[in-house]
Structure 1
Amino acid sequence: MGMMRTAMLMAAMTALFLGVGFLLAGEAGIVIALVLAGGMNLFAWWNSDKMVLRQQGAREVDAQSAPQLVGMVRDLAGRAGLPMPRVYVMETPQPNAFATGRNPENAAVAVTTGLMQGLDRDELAGVIAHELAHIQNRDTLIMTITATFAGAISMLANFAIFFGGNRNNPLGIVGVLAMMILAPLAAALVQMAISRTREYAADRRGAEICGQPLALASALERIAGGAARIDNPAAERNPAAAHMFIINPLHAHAHDRLFSTHPATGNRVAALHALAREMGQAAVRGPWA
């Protein structure tokens, strides 16, 4: 059901993108939009992981510099049947994490120092399993493509401001004006809807990988509390990457449900408690390993 919803939302994003191209320059605009989308997605597919890791100030670690963290990632990746991803650490007291990479063979998991210091072993395993689920579900690629589409739609709308758009379209000048104002907003809403859908799927799969849905639920509550109190300067400087984190790292959207890139933490926790009951686990979680 989650993948079906994601496919429908991505189809809506594609249709919106082509529609903007048509309103901008007629049938030629559709061709321009397709070429632009192909070029931008190819660039994003190849470079997005390097870009976001650099933007967030992440440094790569190995078994010598972070043996416990790397060992946990290796163990959980083995449980998930995934290649070992690269492991990165971000120097910030805000507890958080994200995954990136164009495919499981070229993936990376990044966690903050605040996450490693503020969570117990079970909770940290749940968070890493969640990020590995994103890699396994190809969410890192899906979200890169949708972010690229959203950015391209905004750029096309800006072109319409300067060049006037295709006023011979069936909606005339009204259609051009509506596109300029509403298309970027609609693209952002679709992008956020896709992000929220993939978070629920990653929560469920991550809980299955680590075997402790209640540990992941506890981790989400701790991270949400920390993110609400503690600034993440690198994330604030690069808000376009906020949807990649397990909990929104930005304070600006904390109380804005319509424009939230993540489901409400309480809803995610409730879903994980329901999964724990399905798995026959008691309300008090047991050890991860």
Structure 2
Amino acid sequence: MNVVKTALLLAALTALFGVVGYWIGGSGGMLIALGLAAATNLYAWWNSDRLALKAHRAREVDARTAPELVGLVEELARRAGLPMPRVYLIDNPQPNAFATGRNPANAAVAATTGLLRVLSREEVAAVMAHELAHVKNRDTLIMTVSATLAGALATLAQFGFIFGGRERQNPLALLAMMILAPLGAMIVQMAISRAREYDADRIGAEICGNPLWLASALEKIAGGVSRTVNQDAENHPATAPLFIVNPLKGGAIDGLFSTHPATANRVAALVAMARESGMGAPAASAAPAPGPWGGRRSRGPWG
């Protein structure tokens, strides 16, 4: 059902291309726009991961340049039954992370330097496990393609506003198109992203072995996002749904225009999952001790 829903949402994004093309150039414009949508889909299939990584100036690391992080991801990938993804670091003070790639064999996970400074080893493991859950569910392709489509649609709408078209005699219609088309794309993109975060939280908690680690990590990341501007994310807002927590300022509200469910709701679901597993402690009292990025490690699968 989730696959069908996602296919319908991506079809809706493609249809928006046709609508905007019709507004700009009638039936001929619609055909051109649909052709552009098809080309964008094809391009995004092969290049969306590189575009997302480049937008955030991520640099690839290995066992020599980032042994702790790479070793952690390698162990998590083994636990998840996945090929080892490429690992990237983003030099950004905001704690956050995302995954990208068209399939598990071509996946990449990226963490900010802020994430490694703020979180313990167990919390970093939980975050990376969440990203690997997206890889395992093949969410990464859907989310990066939708980000590329949304960005291209916004550009197309702006092009129509600047150069006009069949509605050039009605500037209000063009202005409405420039606002409503990207807004519609954003809503569709959010529907794709929000539906997948709870699943990735659940599977990520299973991979790392403790839902409370991820609950604690989400609270710390959300707090860091509220205090730190991620300028690259602000410059490329279509990539926001890729991140574990919405990196855009003011984006943590669990409403129509949020790319993610509310952090409090996600934490509550993880705490409930922990209780069902017999752990029972609330996230706040079970926060892991600082790890290799901050001192002593706590006991557990990663201790």
TM-score by length of structure 1 reads 0.86
| Conserved? CA contact 2:253–2:262, under 8 Å | no
* Partner Cα separation in structure 1 for residue 156 and residue 233 of structure 2: 26
User: Which piece of structure 1 moves more, 234-243 or 142-151?
Assistant: 234-243
Alpha-carbon offset, residue 254 of structure 1: 4.6
* Partner Cα separation in structure 1 for residue 178 and residue 223 of structure 2: 37
* Partner Cα separation in structure 2 for residue 141 and residue 124 of structure 1: 23
- 1:240 corresponds in structure 2 to 238
User: Which piece of structure 1 moves more, 1-10 or 206-215?
Assistant: 1-10
One-letter code of the match for 1:200?
Y
| Conserved? CA contact 2:61–2:88, under 8 Å | yes
- 1:133 corresponds in structure 2 to 133
Q: Alignment partner of 1:187: what SS?
A: helix
Say whether residues 1:205 and 2:194 are aligned partners.
no
| Conserved? CA contact 2:254–2:262, under 8 Å | no
* Partner Cα separation in structure 2 for residue 236 and residue 17 of structure 1: 24
* Partner Cα separation in structure 1 for residue 112 and residue 125 of structure 2: 14
- 1:92 corresponds in structure 2 to 92
Alpha-carbon offset, residue 144 of structure 1: 2.0
Q: String of CA shifts for 1:31-75, please: whole Å, max 9, x gaps.
A: 222210122222222222223223323222111222221111011
| Conserved? CA contact 1:125–1:288, under 8 Å | no
Q: Alignment partner of 1:192: what SS?
A: helix
| Conserved? CA contact 1:131–1:202, under 8 Å | yes
Segments of 4+ in structure 1 off by > 6 A? 172-177
| Conserved? CA contact 1:121–1:288, under 8 Å | no
Residues 30 and 257 of structure 1: is their aligned pair in 2 closer, same or farther, counting only changes over 3 Å?
same
- 1:163 corresponds in structure 2 to 164
Alpha-carbon offset, residue 140 of structure 1: 1.8
Question: Which structure 2 segments of 5+ residues have no match?
Answer: 287-298
Q: String of CA shifts for 1:87-145, please: whole Å, max 9, x gaps.
A: 11122332111111222111111112221222122211110001111112222211222
User: Which piece of structure 1 moves more, 40-49 or 96-105?
Assistant: 40-49
* Partner Cα separation in structure 2 for residue 133 and residue 267 of structure 1: 19
One-letter code of the match for 1:61?
V
* Partner Cα separation in structure 1 for residue 172 and residue 89 of structure 2: 49
* Partner Cα separation in structure 2 for residue 11 and residue 44 of structure 1: 15
Say whether residues 1:142 and 2:155 are aligned partners.
no
Pairing 1:179-258 to 2, within 5 Å after superposition: 179-254=177-252, 257-258=255-256
Question: Which structure 1 segments of 5+ residues have no match?
Answer: none
| Conserved? CA contact 2:252–2:260, under 8 Å | no
Alpha-carbon offset, residue 261 of structure 1: 1.6
Residues 14 and 37 of structure 1: is their aligned pair in 2 closer, same or farther, counting only changes over 3 Å?
closer
Percent of aligned pairs sharing the same letter: 62
TM-score by length of structure 2 reads 0.83
* Partner Cα separation in structure 2 for residue 179 and residue 249 of structure 1: 27
* Partner Cα separation in structure 2 for residue 279 and residue 256 of structure 1: 27
